[in-house]
Amino acid sequence: MTKKKKIPMRKCVITNEMKPKKDMIRVVRNKEGEIFADATGKKQGRGAYVSKDVQLVEKAQKQGVLEGFFKTDSKTLDPVYKEIIRLIYREDIPT
């Protein structure tokens, strides 16, 4: 009998769905107040997880989902949304 490996689950702040951590991108606010997409998932700071789905991310940007979570304005988060989308596309491209 082999022991099943536990898959870490995280909740997407856009859909409120629980998904495996590897299917998500972490968005972090560090102590300096900078907000950025964390591709490694290991940076220090308060994090939120976002599903790796470009349509969902674009919808969240229109609705201001991350703005509400991090209590900041869309001007601050526009580059973060672009970075998330860039990371999603980078992973989708077969090498």
The model's pLDDT over 34-59, given as tens digits with 9 standing for 90+, comes to 999 998 888 999 999 999 999 999 99
pLDDT tens digits, one per residue of 4-19: 888 999 999 999 999 9
Check whether 83 has a pLDDT greater than 90. yes
Scanning the chain, the segments in alpha helix (DSSP H) are: 54-63, 65-70, 74-92
Query: Between the CA of residue 60 and those of 7, 15, 32, 38, 53, what are the distances in Å?
Result: 26, 9, 24, 18, 11
Site of tokens 């201001």: 64
Provide the pLDDT for residue 40: 84
- In the chain, domain spans: 9-92
Q: Are 27 and 11 in contact (CB under 8 A)?
A: no
- For 9-92, which CATH superfamily applies? YlxR-like (3.30.1230.10)
Comparing 39-43, 59-63, 77-81, the range with the smallest average pLDDT is: 39-43
- The model's pTM is 0.83
